Structure 1
């Protein structure tokens, strides 16, 4: 199934078997790409050479810290993908964890790991902004 075919389906077919299969394959593909990227980043970290020049050491350490932050972000995304695959297996994928309403195919295509519908996400962001302002 293509994205166009997915979006052309009637609303009554929301999260039917074909749609769940589409998102399962999408998430599995993203998971595989992410695992390969993480593996490559780890390889780069292992291959870094040490230098005796203090400026080179500082630059290398800054690069290493940046790579570690990227790896941490990618690990969090990997966890979200795994959670989404688990939600698919339980039949909960595509439904807002706060309201129980459909998240929507367009939103899921843009962010396959979404767990909140747009309205619930906006409320969450508003609460977060309010808490930061305090």
Structure 2
């Protein structure tokens, strides 16, 4: 028996193209983004608590291990914070009626892409162009 989430995703994908970003789809993504936001807030609070609780005591090996753990926790907190900001921005786009459409071209991003990455702001073609530009500039800097 398929899970309710998979079943709901299948229903969204079965909708005709001219129903793109209808109320059911917008409601689905709003619920999904709000759940992701809540999960991120909990994870970030746990990470912050762990950082505060990690006190450096012990010999040099213990201190070095603790420092490495702290460095990893700080990176994790940074990633969670950036993703939380991205989710908040996506919810704002949803409220403003811009959700699901490419920031660069205005074309639909597509349900399949949004199901994989609900915070996507670029259609696949625009994202590919962006990655090619980034790759090109990275090659020029390293040359």
Please give the TM-score of this superposition, normalised by the length of structure 2: 0.91
**Matching residue within 23, 29, 40 for 1:23:** 29
Larger RCO (CA under 8 A, 6+ residues apart): 1
Specify every segment of 5 or more residues in structure 2 that has no aligned partner in the other structure, as ranges: 1-6
1:45 offset after TM fit, Å? 1.2
> Given the alignment of the two structures, is residue 84 of structure 1 paired with residue 86 of structure 2, yes or no?
no
Task: Describe how 1:70-109 pairs up with structure 2 within 5 A.
Answer: 70-109=76-115
Q: Which runs of 4+ in 1 moved over 2 A?
A: none
**Matching residue within 127, 130, 133 for 2:136:** 130
Aligned residues: 134
**Residue deviations 1:73-96, cap 9 Å, x none?**
111100110000000000000000
1:121 offset after TM fit, Å? 0.2
Specify every segment of 5 or more residues in structure 1 that has no aligned partner in the other structure, as ranges: none
Please give the TM-score of this superposition, normalised by the length of structure 1: 0.97
- Once residues 29 and 131 of structure 2 are traced to their aligned partners in structure 1, the CA distance between those partners, rounded to angstroms, is 25
**Residue deviations 1:7-52, cap 9 Å, x none?**
1110000001111111000000000011111111111112223213
- Once residues 51 and 76 of structure 2 are traced to their aligned partners in structure 1, the CA distance between those partners, rounded to angstroms, is 12
The alignment's C-alpha RMSD in Å is: 1.0
